[in-house]
Amino acid sequence: MEGIAVRLVDLRKSFGETTAVAGVDLEIRDGEFFSMLGPSGSGKTTVLRLVAGFESPDRGRIELAGRDVTRLAPFERDVHTVFQDYALFPHMTVEQNVAYGLKVRKVPKAERLVRARKALAEVRLEGHGQRRPAQLSGGQRQRVALARALVGRPRVLLLDEPLGALDLKLREQMQVELKAIQREVGITFVLVTHDQEEALTMSDRIAVFDQGRTAQVGTPAEIYERPATAFVASFVGTSNLLGGETAHRITGAPGTYNIRPEKIHVLKETAGADEPDHATATGTVAEVVYLGDATRFLVDLDGGGRLTALQQNLQTSSEDVAAYRGTRVRLRWHRRHAVRLPS
């Protein structure tokens, strides 16, 4: 059986009238890249701070590698936190920044140096040890912060929006790097983010937070393909949520459904309606947007309701997509892609 790195049992935390964490149960496995994803105010940062020991819970238990640490001080827990602002010492060299924690722990100088260099190599910053933080790019500073965390070989690394300060291109590059570094060092990473794409890209598993609770815990594919609630469906990816009469009309059954836009094909209205296991609906294109790699159609359905469909632009064409506006179309999708949400 795999080891459990972090176990949270009925964790609760309020600040005055505000309930930040409303009863969270969670198990994070050894060596896992785990993300806590949710909108602002959903409680994910508070959970991270509780695990780090910066806050203490009103109720519940926190275990690290099977040991109850709920009442222990941060330095007594085998975790390290990487903050968004990196908190590097500007007057120290990169190497001194990375080795600082070891110095505090009275590790001999020669060993400090060896370990600091190894950590810098792990984040692909060998040769940068003698620079000062101001002489590095944002992405490099981020990696120094990571090296400083890795050098102490914590059981669990906590990362609070670690890529939030980087611009989009660099962020995308660092997402891939961070995941590769995690895989190499094998340490459990627990990351807080409000960016669904970031969570989907890097994580082995994700917990989606909604109002102080986990709405769903699963792999990126489980969360995206089988969202447990309407909130998860709409927060992670683009969704078509169908309820009531519209859902009944196009699925033939009661309930609330979600269909991802890329699962819906846009066809000519005259296209054959009956393909086995497929559902179809006709309507009028209300809006069409050219996105480069794909085109997005908003279609007002006959009889009410609206669906968004995303079509890959597989062929080269300079055709003006605006010409589709107001045209009649048939939408078709495989029935299994209309995912029923538990009510």
Q: What does the longest C-alpha to C-alpha distance in the chain come to?
A: 78
Distance CA(259)–CA(261), nearest Å, equals: 6
Choose between 19 and 256: whose C-beta lies nearer to ligand ATP: 19
Choose between 223 and 247: whose C-beta lies nearer to ligand ATP: 223
Choose between 18 and 137: whose C-beta lies nearer to ligand ATP: 18
Site pattern 38..57 for ligand ATP (x: CB under 6 A): x-xxxxxxx-----------
User: What residues contact 107, with CB distance under 8 A and at least 6 apart?
Assistant: 115
Site pattern 193..212 for ligand ATP (x: CB under 6 A): -x------------------
- Starting from the edge strand earliest in sequence, which strands make up the sheet with 205-210, in order? 79-82, 156-160, 188-193, 33-37, 205-210, 213-218
Choose between 97 and 214: whose C-beta lies nearer to ligand ATP: 214
Choose, by CB under 6 A, the member of 8, 20, 199, 236 that binds ligand ATP: 20
Select the span of 34-42, 67-75, 267-275, 286-294 touching ligand ATP (CB under 6 A).
34-42
Residue corresponding to tokens 């000519």: 268
User: What residues contact 302, with CB distance under 8 A and at least 6 apart?
Assistant: 281, 282, 283, 284
User: What residues contact 121, with CB distance under 8 A and at least 6 apart?
Assistant: none
Beta-strand relationship, 156-160 and 79-82: parallel
CB of 50 to ligand ATP, least distance (A): 9
Select the span of 35-43, 142-150, 285-293, 325-333 touching ligand ATP (CB under 6 A).
35-43
How many angstroms separate the first and last alpha carbons of the chain? 33
Q: How many CA atoms lie within 13 A of 270 on its CB side?
A: 0
Q: Could you tell me how many residues of this chain bind ligand ATP (CB under 6 A)?
A: 12
CB of 38 to ligand ATP, least distance (A): 5
| Enclosing H/E stretch for 252 | none
Site pattern 146..185 for ligand ATP (x: CB under 6 A): ----------------------------------------
**Residues of the shown chain interacting with ligand ATP in the complex, contacts defined by CB under 6 A:** 15, 18, 20, 38, 40-46, 194
